[in-house]
Amino acid sequence: MAAAATPTIPENDPNNLLSQLESRTCRGYYDGRHHNNCYNIMWQTTNKQGATNSSMSGNWNFGNTSVYGDVSHYTYASVAVAYRPGGFSGKQFWFANDARVDHLVFNLKKVGEGDSPWLNLVNSNNLNVTTLDVIGDVMFEVKLGGNSSIDTINNAADRLSLTTNSNSSLTIQTLNQNRADSQLVIQEAPGSIVINTLNQSGGSVYQRTEEVGVANITGGHYYQGYGPTGGSFGPSGDGGQIGTLNLQGGAFTQYAGQITTANLSGGTFTHNGGTLSNVVLKAGG
């Protein structure tokens, strides 16, 4: 069976919200409490579609049938936010259990100095997403339940953190990271995470544990058995497993964990711990 096609989403760029943010003309500003953000959320289910432009003060429930109709299947859901640092963090988004989303996008733009906020995709069991794009000035956590799956993740956020609920699994077919300063953190999940193919051409990847089938690295730095812990970075987790490492550029540092086969044709490989079963040096390695 051919993979499902990713639908085309209407343009939803947070840069187009900057004038509303500055002039405080987003709906929701009337009470004077939410001047720090302006969002535009566009969506389409099998029987309804729409867009909402306002300022966000709470969490977001894409499982609300009175608003979205058939919440079991979204053709797309696109979230764009322009914000000022401070007061806009910890917002949670969720879908109905067993829902399918063909294309899900989060794109955030920060105005001014300060930390990027955390947003969370949570409280959804057995969620199936065809394509998830995470973009811009945001620290984004995926924490799903049941047997959830995402076919493709494109990470261009400040940080993407992957974990699960207890007794749950998350299967990702392909994860792409191209932005030069993005971070991906594969956490020690209460359940299990499997990434079949991880393609990295920029940024940092921290695999604290869990399983990666094939890691293709052409740029950036991949750390196994190392990551953010206690407000800093250091050795953490058991490193998990990597079936095949294809290192063509960038750098790879192993602190813990297992690698079955490492094909080294470029970049820099550093072994500080863990096990490595088979090393293949190719031209240029």
Residue (of 79, 95, 96) closest to 138 by Cα position: 79
CA atoms of 72 and 70, how far apart (whole Å): 5
Q: Would you state the structure tokens that stand for residue 51, as one six-digit string? A: 């867009």
Supply the DSSP symbol for 269. Answer: E
- At residue 237, what is the residue type? G
Q: Tell me the whole-structure pTM to 2 decimals.
A: 0.94
Better-scored residue on pLDDT, 283 or 53: 53
CA atoms of 49 and 19, how far apart (whole Å): 25
CA atoms of 243 and 16, how far apart (whole Å): 43
At residue 86 the predicted structure's pLDDT band, cuts being 50, 70 and 90, is: confident
At residue 1 the predicted structure's pLDDT band, cuts being 50, 70 and 90, is: very low
* Residue owning tokens 């750098």: 251
